[in-house]
């Protein structure tokens, strides 16, 4: 299977296309490999000095690191909604009302 995949990569096919073709053409034999696995093979080959990555449309030896947005900065001095004054619940003052800014078209 690896040889079949590398042959298709060298012909210029994308890993997504190869994965889809294998699933369709070898359905009875249940030969399947995900595009992610194919990318891992390509990048492992590149680490060993191979040139398989040059057959990709974008000739990257490595993937870019994904940035995670889990380190959000929180507002300084923020107060929990549970700690707001009781007068806010009366909604008698300007600014105590909440509303959506979305409109129906």
- Residue 51: inside a domain: yes
Tell me how many domains the chain contains.
1
- Residue 35: inside a domain: yes
pLDDT at 99 over 80: no
- Residue 96: inside a domain: no
Among the residue ranges 41-50, 64-73, 80-89, the one predicted with the least confidence is: 64-73
Could you report the per-residue pLDDT of 14-32, keeping only the tens digit for each? 888 999 988 888 877 777 8
- Residue 86: inside a domain: no
- Residue 95: inside a domain: no
- 21 Cβ contact list (under 8 Å, min separation 6): 8, 13
Q: Which domain holds residue 17?
A: 2-55
- Residue 99: inside a domain: no
């Amino acid at each position: 299977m690896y040889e079949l995949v590398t042959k298709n990569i060298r012909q210029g096919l994308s890993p997504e296309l190869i994965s889809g073709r294998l699933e369709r053409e070898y359905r009875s034999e249940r030969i399947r490999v995900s595009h992610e696995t194919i990318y891992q093979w390509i990048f492992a080959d590149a680490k060993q000095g191979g040139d398989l990555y040059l057959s990709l449309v974008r000739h990257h030896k490595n993937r870019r690191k994904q940035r995670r947005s889990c380190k959000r900065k929180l507002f300084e001095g923020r107060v929990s909604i549970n700690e707001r004054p009781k007068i806010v619940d009366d909604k008698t003052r300007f600014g105590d009302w909440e509303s959506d800014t979305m409109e129906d078209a």
